[in-house]
Amino acid sequence: MNTTDWLGSIGVFLILLAYLLNTLGKLTTKDLAFILLNLTGAALACLASILLDYLPFIILEGAWTVVSCFSLVRYLRNPLH
């Protein structure tokens, strides 16, 4: 595996880990860990997609990253977590 494969694989793993932990009831979508797993995973997967020059996944993971950023900003603005 090359660097791009590792970046994409780690990114996808983090997204799936967030989903699994949410499904098992260990994290909610409002938990900081859930938001950060999605944000980091999507950013890594997007970077890998950019390096592969694969536009459909650049759009998908880029959108996922932006949405996760909005979630993080909303989390940080709310003093009552």
pTM value is 0.94
3 vs 22: CA distance, rounded Å: 29
Find the helix or strand (DSSP H, E) in which 73 lies. Answer: helix 55-77
State the average pLDDT over residues 52-69: 98
Q: Per-residue pLDDT for 80 more than 80?
A: no
Question: Predicted confidence band at 79 (pLDDT cuts at 50, 70, 90)?
Answer: confident
What are 56's two structure tokens? Answer: 């459909």
Q: Per-residue pLDDT for 81 more than 80?
A: no
Q: Per-residue pLDDT for 50 more than 80?
A: yes
* Domain interval for residue 47: 3-77
Whole-number average pLDDT of the chain = 97
Q: What is the dihedral of CA 15, 60, 63, 42, to 10 degrees?
A: 30
Domain count for the chain, please give it.
Answer: 1
